Amino acid sequence: MRPHPRQVLLGAQAGSGFLPVCDHYSGVEARMRKSLQLQAEMTEEFGACVFDVTLDCEDGAPVGGEPEHAALVVALALAAADNARVGVRVHPVDHPSFEADIATIAGQAGHRLTHIMLPKVESVRDVIQAEKALQRASAGHLPLQVLIESPAAVHRAFEIAAQPRVQSLSFGLMDFVSAHGGAIPSDAMGAKGQFVHPLVVRAKLEIASACHAHGKVPSHCVVTEFNDTAAMQAAATRAAREFGFTRMWSIHPNQIRPILAAFAPAEAEIEAASSIIAAAVEANWAPISFGAQLHDRASYRYFWQVLERAHQTGRALPPEMQSYFQAVRPVSSPSTPTTSIP
């Protein structure tokens, strides 16, 4: 039996290779239930789970009703389909409900969750505090995805990304703009302005660079204009093609498919990648000449990652490439967000 490409192409699992490109957030009960139902429907449609559902406690729980909301999140996670990918955004580490969130949600439903999203992370100390809380809840296997929302946190992005428990960094655009005390205009929170203002652009590039330096997943911020499909598509395309992000937040069901389309490789890219990987397999991963160009393991890694992204966005693959994904199933890992090798 020939080895799987992931076994041969060392480092091919780094970055976004094994997380869905879309992370969909909801915090109101009706919307959380609808999100899980939509995930199941689109998994059946595409033949793969093409987006994560992150149930939100930070913005979703009513003030004073945090314990009840945490219990609801547990019930929804436990009732989700066996192949569902469900994460939870808890309260920040300095919030009175943080410890209870972790104890209840990770303690009771940790075996059904893919990750914990930790907001308002300012330093490595916050990550360590959350990791210890997970260990106390007997959920030390759960990866942490962290939200970078302040200038100081951006400054420490590389240190935070280096932590083994951290799986992904997300950019919190609106809190980041607000943290500047009016120095950044409000239009920098919009679909267009967030790609123009120098401080916002710098923050995005720092986060993306920190993630790629440490093999973590950079997740792009929200677009609040959820009814403007063209604006959403343009923002997602820029995030993927120009800013180095390999995942993006959705806050409305209308945003999921535009994100998938923007982050998916084009049909021509998939065709070229499939042909090159097939030729590499036949050559037992030795260097080849393909299309009058030399290819070796360095370029094989790139083209394999194209196929991974195609699979995660529900794009059709040739049968010989699709076979590499048929037995793939997610596993929890603090430092390498990968799937098992069949």
The CA–CA distances, whole Å, from 299 to 19, 280, 292, 293 equal: 21, 10, 14, 11
Chain region(s) in the chain for CATH 3.20.20.60? 22-263
pLDDT 10s digits, 143-165: 999 999 999 999 999 999 999 99
**Bridge partners, residue 53, by sequence:** 24, 86
Q: What is the pLDDT of residue 99?
A: 98
Q: What is the pLDDT of residue 339?
A: 34
Q: What is the pLDDT of residue 329?
A: 43
Q: What is the pLDDT of residue 11?
A: 57
- Mean of the per-residue pLDDT values of the chain: 91
Spell out the CATH class of 22-263: alpha beta
pLDDT 10s digits, 16-74: 447 999 999 999 999 999 999 999 999 999 988 999 999 999 999 999 999 999 999 99
Q: What is the pLDDT of residue 337?
A: 40
Q: What is the pLDDT of residue 336?
A: 40
Q: What is the pLDDT of residue 9?
A: 86
pLDDT 10s digits, 192-204: 999 999 999 999 9
Place of tokens 């973590």: 216
326 confidence band (pLDDT: 50, 70, 90): confident
Quote the CA–CA distance of 238 and 245 in Å, as a whole number. 9
Give this prediction's pTM.
Answer: 0.88
pLDDT 10s digits, 277-307: 999 999 999 999 998 999 999 999 999 999 9
89 is written with which tokens? 């955004």
pLDDT 10s digits, 206-254: 999 999 999 999 999 999 998 888 999 999 999 999 999 999 999 999 9
